[in-house]
Amino acid sequence: MIVLFDFDGVIADTESQYTIFWDKKGKEYLGLDNFGLMIKGQTFKQIAAGPFKDNLRELYEEIEPELNEFERTMSYEYVPGALEFMQSLKAAGIRTAIVTSSHNVKMANAYRAHPELLEVVDRILTSNDFSKSKPDPECFLKGMEVLGGKPEETIVFEDSLHGIAAGRAAGAKVIGLTTTNKSEVLTPLCDMVIDDFTQISLEDL
């Protein structure tokens, strides 16, 4: 068995912060409400190529520095039980990786807040390691490859609908967290749904 974790909304309780940021930008640039929920699980490039595509130059020149500063100062508190669960997997000799749509610069901020992240998993893969973004399964297939695992022996922890779709497309079992979407939305899409890692143990896998 190998275990792959998304980062935002799975290990770090950051999604509510991103929602506030992108809701503000969606209103400012597009006149849209609740934009943060619309783009959950997408990379900055995906967002730029979607509703923002007509403002691409303005997006990168104005929003990217704001996003970088936001990520530098945001809180990276753990989802309850996340660190302890990852530690239990490591102690049991189970191979693990963080597979995130975030880029290396953003993740460096997370490492400053939690340097133990670099030790508690076997690998960390970021958007710098992939050519395609979720819901494409490339990122999770790459995670399986670097850990030497097969789809049928892989468990993916995700919170976003794009991430869940990517895990499914990669052939993995998917456990959804309700940090972003409600349980009733996730239940038909996942093998198991939890609120946080206090609700799961190694034996449940």
201/110 Cα distance (integer angstroms): 25
Nearest CA to 96 among 146, 164, 161? 146
196/179 Cα distance (integer angstroms): 8
What pLDDT score does 32 carry?
84
15: how many CB neighbours lie within 10 A of its CB?
A: 22
132/141 Cα distance (integer angstroms): 11
106/127 Cα distance (integer angstroms): 10
What the chain holds in terms of domains, given with CATH numbers, is 2-14+77-204 (3.40.50.1000), 15-73 (no CATH)
Residue 73's H or E segment, with its range, is helix 64-73
Q: Residue 192 is encoded by which pair of tokens?
A: 């198991």
In tens, the pLDDT along 112-131 reads 999 999 999 999 999 999 88
pTM above 0.85, yes or no: yes
In tens, the pLDDT along 10-56 reads 999 987 888 888 898 888 888 888 888 777 767 777 777 777 777 76
Q: How many CA atoms lie within 13 A of 86 on its CB side?
A: 25
DSSP annotation of 54: G
